[in-house]
């Protein structure tokens, strides 16, 4: 569970929420790229962190 300070602030769902039925958030405005984390909002204060891999 994330505290209020740790919760992601920016909704970045775009079209994926149509497939998942869940919204996706990020702690950063620039959320695209290697090593970035987005959070799938499960319910209440629960999120699933999804990390993009790869290297430069």
- Adjacent-strand bridge partners of 40: 24, 48
Average pLDDT, the chain: 78
pLDDT tens-digit readout, 8-34: 888 887 777 777 788 888 887 777 777
Q: Could you please report the per-residue DSSP string of 8-54?
A: --EE--TTHHHHHSS-EEESSS---STT-EEEEEEETTEEEEEE---
Q: What is the pLDDT of residue 1?
A: 64
pTM: 0.66
Residue 8's CB is within 10 A of a number of other CB atoms, namely: 20
From CA 46, how far away is CA 48, in angstroms rounded? Answer: 7
Indicate whether 56 pLDDT > 60: no
- pLDDT value of residue 54: 58
pLDDT at 27: 82
């Amino acid at each position: 569970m994330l505290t209020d300070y740790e919760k992601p602030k920016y909704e970045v769902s775009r079209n994926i929420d149509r497939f998942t039925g869940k919204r996706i958030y990020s702690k950063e405005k620039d959320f695209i790229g290697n090593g970035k984390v987005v959070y799938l909002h499960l319910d209440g204060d629960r999120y699933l962190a999804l990390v993009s891999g790869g290297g430069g």
